[in-house]
Each structure stands twice: as C-alpha cells, then as structure tokens.
Structure 1
Amino acid sequence: MWVICNCYKRTFRSATKYILFNENLKIARGPRTSLSCRRWYAKTNNTSKRGRTAIFQQLDKSQSLPETDSTLTSLQKAMKSGDDFIYGVTPVYAALTVKTRNPIRCLYLQEKADFSKRKDAALLQQIIQMAEEANIPSKTLNKGDLNNLSGQRPHQGIVLQAAPLQLDYIDQLPSAGLSPNKPAPVWLALDEVMDPQNLGSLLRTACFLGITGVAICNKNSAPLSGTVSKASAGAMELMTIHAVRNMSRFLQNSQRQGWYILGASMEKDTVNIENIHPSIPVVLVLGSEGFGLRTNVQNVCDGFVAIQRRFSSNCNTEVAFSIIDSLNVGVAGGILMEQLRASRDY
C-alpha cells in the first residue's frame, strides 16, 4: 500500500522516499513528513497525534492472534500453572515419600545425564521407581529448561512439579500443662522471616532437633517454595507448617494457655535458658533479617534470650566488635533451639 502526503507539492522520484506501510506493524515511515502532515493523517485515520518519525495506525483486532494457551509450549503452560517445582534429589524424594502435595503432576529428568555414576544413583533410581508406581508421568528436558524450572538454582538433574503445600492456620497453641516427669514441648515462631534460605535452614534444624511445631506469619514471610524445600534438605516436605494471621495475637492467646514466650533479641535484658524450668512449654520467637522482632511482638514476650559474642583470637577484635554485632537468623535460631532442647534432656 502506497500513500503520498498531500502537504507535498512534488512527486517523489526515489522509492526510498515513499511512505511504506509495514503490513505486520502498520507503521508508516517517511523521512520528510512534516508535523502538519502527521496531524492531518492522525486526524483522518483516528490515530495518535504524537510521534516524530512514525505514524501508528490502529491494528485491526481481527488480525491479531488471540492470547490463548494454544500458543504456549508445554513448558510455558507448566510454569504458568501455579504449581511448585521441587528440585534436588532429597527434596523430591521426601515429597514423593510423604505425598502431602496433591496432585503431583510430573517428574522432570535431565536428558543425556548418566545418573548411574553418581553417589546418589540408588536414591535416584528409587525416585524414578516411586514415580512409576504412583503413575506420575516422567519427561526428559535439557539442562536449560530445568534451570528455568528451578529458578537457575542447582537442581541435580531432577525437578518435580506438584501442587503447593497447604498451610495449617491456627489462632493459638493448646494448653500443654505442666508435667514434672517429662520435658515440655518447644515451638518455633518466625516473625516475618523473608529469606527462603534462612527459612529452609530453620525448618531443617527444627526437624533435626525435634522441635514440636513451627508457626510462620501468613503475610510478609517467605513462601513455602521449592527454594525453601531445597534449603531445608527436604525437611519442609516432612513437616506440617502452621500459619498465623496475627503473630502478636497468636502469642498472646498461647500465653493465656500457659506457654512461656521467649523472644530472641540483642537489645533487651536477657534470661538464661537454663533457668527456664524444663516442665514449662516454650515458644521461641525469632524476628526478620536485619530488623529483628517487631515492637508489638516484643511487648508480648515474657523474656528475651541472646547469644553471647566470643570473638576469635585470630581476628581484629576491635573492628569485629563494631561490625559483627549479630548472627544470621538461621544460625542463631539453630543455636538457641539446641540450647533449649539440651536444657530439657533429663
């Protein structure tokens, strides 16, 4: 289609000076079109008056491709499904063993990968067998596609597509009572822990040390994703994760049921964990990275605990004292959970 601007009084001789409409983009180009020409063309064709070098004509909606799932690849459909992608040998094995995710849709394996030469070859073979017995389809993908499913994180050549884990919402902990003959339970409450690596590390430690339960905030917490599952070495798949809508209210309600609320803080007067009687049920509360416990959560706590700094003789103590004032929440939580459990072993 050819158009000659009516503002010019002469005929263009060169083909390059014609205004040629691109049939796909519907863009008219012309090196010497004037502002008045563009305004006239925009007015007569109901298009925008703006633009310095191009005139845009509205696309005919009947000519544009409809945005449907038929235009997506199977991998793109999987990524848009809202499912979780569990990656890594141990998390995938844990998810297939406990079967808390329903449904489990597909097992993806890296093509041309020789799993027989790996140290975990027996576990990988067991995973494949479990998927076959559960009628879970298996597909092979190249490493790049597996990288996309795992968010560019190490996947060890295996990814499992499954429904997200369901949170168990609670408003308070039940009354544990006092039992002088056996140690009371210990719960872990995480107040807005946002980093998935820290959350996974805490879940792994809680599972390993025998913590009774874990409660996280419904909002402003890291989602229970494949990244958290990998960081927990699959422990997230084995545990029931409880969620609370309001952390301070949850702690207050649990406090009325006889629970001792112990917050981790470097800024408050602290208590010695060994002085807390083993028969008293405890909720250990950890705050977010960098900010610690929120003020409304601190106001609920019965006491606070901190980890004493003991700098190595191999470092500059004066500089270390000014810049290393705390521990990563995952590391600090592991130390405090171990101290609590150790004080109740009798």
Structure 2
Amino acid sequence: MAGKKKGAQVGSGGNRRRGLEGRGPTPPAEMRKGHAKQRAAQAKARRTQGKPQQRGGPRGGKGTSELVVGRNSVVEALREGVPANAFYVQQFIDNDERVREAVRYAGERGGIHLVEAPKPELDRMTNGLNHQGVVLQIPPYEYAHPEDLASAAFDKGQEPLIVALDGVTDPRNLGAVVRSVSAFGGHGVVVPERRAAGMSAGAWKTSAGTAARTPVARATNLTRTLEQYQKAGLTVVGLAADGDVELHDVAALDGPLVVVIGSEGKGLSRLVGQTCDILARIPMPGGAESLNAGVAAGVVLYEASRRR
C-alpha cells in the first residue's frame, strides 16, 4: 500500500507515551488559572494582605499576622493545625510531594484561601526569604484580657489557676506552657505585651492544638496585672532559684493562684519579684541550676492539680 515502508522507523522519542500519562488530580478551583474562584480568592487575599497590622487594645485585642514560608515549614504548620487564612502557591511551581501534601491539608481544613501567585509577588511578601514557592498566612491571634481569665474561672465556681510569663521570649516555651495549662486544668496564660513571646506559628505548633481551647491574655503592664489579681483574691507565687520556700510547702497552691515564671537565664524581673506574695523554688536534687519555662510550669501545675 502507498505510504507503507518496511525497515526501521523514526520513533516519537517517547512523546506519545508521555502524552498518555496522567497529570495527577485536578487542582482546586482556586488554583486553576482564570477560574472565577481563583480571581475571587486572589482579590480577597490582596485585601487581607493590604490591611494595616493591628495592635492589642485595652481588652486584649489582636496580635499581628504572620507568614510561614518554605515547603517543610508550611506542611508541618498545616499538619499541626496552626490556624491559617491564605495559602499562596507559586505559579508553575515544581509540584513535588510536599507541595501536593500542603495543598491537600489546606483543602481538607477548609476556610483557607488557595491563591496562585507569581514568584515576584511571593518575593515581595516575604522580603526575599527562601519561600520555595509556598507561603502560609497566619491570621492575627485574638488575645484575651487578663481579667477575663479569672472571671471565667469564678463564673464556673472554680478557683482560678493562671500562669504568667515574665521575659519568656521563646515561642516554643510559650506553646509548652499553654499545653501544660490545658493538661492540668488551668484557666489561661498571661504574657506581657512587650519583649515577650506571643502566639506565633511556633507557639501554636508546640501547644499541639491546645491553644485553640486555652486562652492567652496579653498584659500592657505585668506588675499592674498581678496587683489586680491580688485585689481579686488570687495569690501570686513566683518561681525563683533562691525562693524562700520549697514548692511542696506552699499552702496556696490549692486556692486561687497565679504562678509567675521568668526566663531561664534572668529569672523574674525585680519589680515582678517584689510584687509576688511568695517566692518559691522547685527542689532539684540532681543539681540543675534552672528549668525552662515549659518544664517548670508542668511541675508546678501538676502539684497544684494534685492538691485540687
């Protein structure tokens, strides 16, 4: 027949075979170029990104929004339930396993806007950080007011059990304290507004999800906040390596209580230490000089919970 030749033929170089291969699952509508949902998500994300950052007001207020960048960090944050309101994915990104996993987590969570953005836009958002084509936007944390923690406990007919942190700047320590407060039935954590760790993505991850049910309050002035707690009938116990009494001798642990924990290096600040009703020490026969805030909080909260 015409057009038929015998012998070796020039192949397609595998193009036909590759053309038959699947291209993976259909991406969400928010990530499909030109789709109405993508345009709407991009517009909403731009409005969110353009809003001025808010500072906490007299009733606690909100923190500031935060960006988590990098494929491993984004996947871990989504896996641990860190709250997010937007997930930016670079256009024409190399769609590896971590990117697919992040997209899947974001889609399963719901409430997270998936936005496809060009690389220059992600570079601008992250100030040139190595974002690897993925950026997760964390909404501002809504802090409680310190008074609300004690009031909520009294309203339930319970003795307040609150932990206040003085000069703790590591968000992982804050997250560990929140987790301990939740585990032992505490009513919340108080942090200073300045020079202290806040509820960042790192704190959320370390709290292992307990930050969703254990309130964190922010105090404009920690010393004044402790004095207000004292007026409300709470005993303020500060932890110090040279405390006057050992922890097991503190009778106030079974009553309305605020436990104040300082930084591992400097301990309690002078004014906060002077404001405390009792300075207690945790006996450490092993000879360690100090414990980090997360461990110290767990020890004290266990003892307080045991007595209650």
TM range (shorter): 0.5 to 0.7
Aligned partner of residue 190 in structure 2, secondary structure: strand
Decide whether the 8 Å contact of 1:174 with 1:257 is kept in 2.
Answer: no
Q: Alpha carbon RMSD of aligned pairs, Å?
A: 4.2
Larger Rg: 1
Distance in structure 1 (CA, Å) of the matches to 2:78 and 2:210: 11
Shift of 1:206: 2.1
Deviations 1:157-199 (A, max 9, x none): 97531322132334684496699xx862310111121122222
* Unaligned runs of at least 5 residues, structure 2: 1-44, 54-64
Distance in structure 1 (CA, Å) of the matches to 2:75 and 2:204: 11
Distance 1:296 1:171, change over 3 A: farther
**Match in the other structure for 2:294:** 330
Shift of 1:284: 0.6
Distance in structure 2 (CA, Å) of the matches to 1:176 and 1:238: 14
Is 1:227 the counterpart of 2:191? The answer is no
Distance in structure 2 (CA, Å) of the matches to 1:255 and 1:234: 31
Decide whether the 8 Å contact of 1:91 with 1:237 is kept in 2.
Answer: no
Is 1:85 the counterpart of 2:41? The answer is no
Distance in structure 2 (CA, Å) of the matches to 1:240 and 1:175: 11
Distance in structure 1 (CA, Å) of the matches to 2:211 and 2:152: 26
Distance in structure 2 (CA, Å) of the matches to 1:252 and 1:278: 18
**Match in the other structure for 1:130:** 109
Q: Could you say which structure has the higher helix fraction?
A: 2
Deviations 1:79-124 (A, max 9, x none): 998631254556435345xxxx6xx12255985333699xxx7x98
Is 1:281 the counterpart of 2:256? The answer is yes
Shift of 1:331: 1.7
Distance in structure 2 (CA, Å) of the matches to 1:80 and 1:178: 37
Deviations 1:204-263 (A, max 9, x none): 222333321111001110233222223333433544320111111111111111101111
**Match in the other structure for 1:105:** 86
Distance in structure 1 (CA, Å) of the matches to 2:251 and 2:67: 42
1:307 to 250, 272, 282: 282
Aligned partner of residue 137 in structure 1, secondary structure: strand
1:293 to 268, 289, 305: 268
Aligned partner of 2:109: which letter? M
Aligned partner of 2:296: which letter? A
Aligned partner of residue 168 in structure 1, secondary structure: coil
Deviations 1:135-169 (A, max 9, x none): 61155999xx89x96x999x9x9753132213233
Shift of 1:283: 0.5
* Unaligned runs of at least 5 residues, structure 1: 1-73, 312-320
- Taking only the aligned residue pairs, the percentage that are identical comes to 24
Distance in structure 2 (CA, Å) of the matches to 1:193 and 1:341: 23
**Match in the other structure for 2:30:** none
Distance in structure 1 (CA, Å) of the matches to 2:75 and 2:307: 35
- Name the count of aligned residue pairs: 241
Distance in structure 2 (CA, Å) of the matches to 1:207 and 1:91: 20
1:182-261 paired onto structure 2 within 5 Å: 184-261=159-236
Shift of 1:294: 1.2
